[in-house]
Chain A
C-alpha cells in the first residue's frame, strides 16, 4: 500500500516538474548550469573509471580466450561489446547514481528543511519545476555524451594495456573493435543512458523534495535516492534489453 502511495506522489511530483515554466529564458540558462555542475563535473571520474575498466576488461579477455583457434582480434571485439552494451551505460550510470543522485537529493533536501523551497513557493514560483526540470533535461542531454566518451576512453585504455603489455598488436586490436559492428547497439546504449538519466535525476529530486525533519533526514533521503535509483536502473536495464535485444 505504501509503495502505491509513493508511486502516486512521484507521478504528481513529475507532473509539477514538467509544468509550463514561468519564464523559459531562466530555465534555459539553468539547464546549462546543471549540465556544467552535474555533468561536466563528472567528466574526470568517468574518464578515470572508463580507462581502468577498459584495461581490466582486455586483460580478462586475453587471459580467458587463449585458444589458438580463436583470432586475437576477438579479445578487443568482446571488450568493445562489454563497454558498449553494459559498462558505459549501465555500470557508469550506477556510479553516477551514487555521485549525482546523492548530490541532487542532499541539495534539494537541505533547501527543503531550511524553508528555501517554501520561500520559492510563497514568491509564486513552481519550486518543483524551477529546481528539478533543468536538472532532468540537463542530465538527459549530458549523460549520453558521458556514455559515448566513456566508450572511447575505455577502448583507449584497452588499447593502451594490450599494446604496452604485449597482449596483442595494435592492428589486431583496431580490427577487433571494428569487427561485426552494429550501430543499433550504440542506439540501444544511448536510449538506455537517456532513461537512466531521467531515473537518476527524478528519483533523487523526489526524495530530496519530500525530506521532512533535519540533517539526519537529509542523509536518509540521500541514501534512499541512491538505493532506489540503482534498483530502478537495474530493472529498466533488463526491460530495455529484453525489448530491444531480446
Chain B
C-alpha cells in the first residue's frame, strides 16, 4: 500500500483549534471554572458529591429542556418571550381540565400539548406574515397568556391556584413518567434530568445531523439568501416556534404533576433565563450560529450557581448578580475565543 502523500498546499488545523472553534467549549470551560469556584467555597461538603449534584441537576433540568429549543429558535433568528408563561399556562390548563372537568390526566396532557403547538403556530404565523420582530409578537403572547392564566383560573376555581390534581384519573402513571424520582446513592434524582438529556440529544441531532438543522442555520444566518437557495424559511421558523412552545408545555406538565397543582403566576420571568442559558452556551443573539449542547451547559451553570451560593452561605440575593456577571463574561469569552480560533486557522 502506498503511503499517503501529504499535500503541502492544504493546511491542517490542529485538533485544539478545531475544538476551540466550537461554541460549546467556551461554555464548558466556564462551567468547569464555576463548578470549581463553588466547590472551593462549599461549607457542606456535599457540593461535589451525590447530594449536591442531585440538587443542581434538579434546578437545571426544567431550564435546560426549554433552553435547548429556545436556542434552536435563536439560531433560526427569532426570540420567544412567551415560553416562561407557557409553562404556567400548560400546568394550569392540565390542572383545570382534570380537577374542574374530571378529564383523565393523559387526555388533559394531550390537549395541553395541542394547545401549545397551536400557540407556537400562531406565534410563528404572525411573525412570518407580518414581518414584525418576534420579540414584540411573543411579548404580546406573553401578556395575553399571563392575563388569561389569572382570569381563567379565578373564573373556574374562585382562587388563584389549581390544587388537588393528585386526585385525578391517571395521575399516578403520569407522575411516574414525568415527575418521579430515582434514588442514586443516598439522594433522589428527578426524572426530569433524563428528559433533559433526551431533549439535548434530540435537539443536537436535529441541528447537526439533519437537513432541517441546515435550514435552521440558514434561516438565522441570512434568510433572504436562504430563501433564494430554496430553504423553506417560513416553514422552518413556524416549526421552531411550535417546538419551543411544546417544550415549555412539557415542563409545565412536569411541574403540575410534581407540585400536585399550580399557582397562576408560575413561570412568569423565566423566559429570560432560557435566553440567557442559550446565550451563555454560545448561541448568538442575532442568529445563524449556536449550539443546543451549549444551552444545556448554560442551564447547568445556572443550577450550579443556585445550589453553590447557599452552600457557600452567601446571601442568596447574589444569585441575580451572579447570573448577570456570567452572562456578560460568557458572551465575551465565547466571542474572544471564537475570534482567536477563527483567526488562527493556519
Q: Do A and B bind each other?
A: no
Q: Chain A: residues with CB nearer than 8 A to chain B?
A: none
Q: Chain B: residues with CB nearer than 8 A to chain A?
A: none
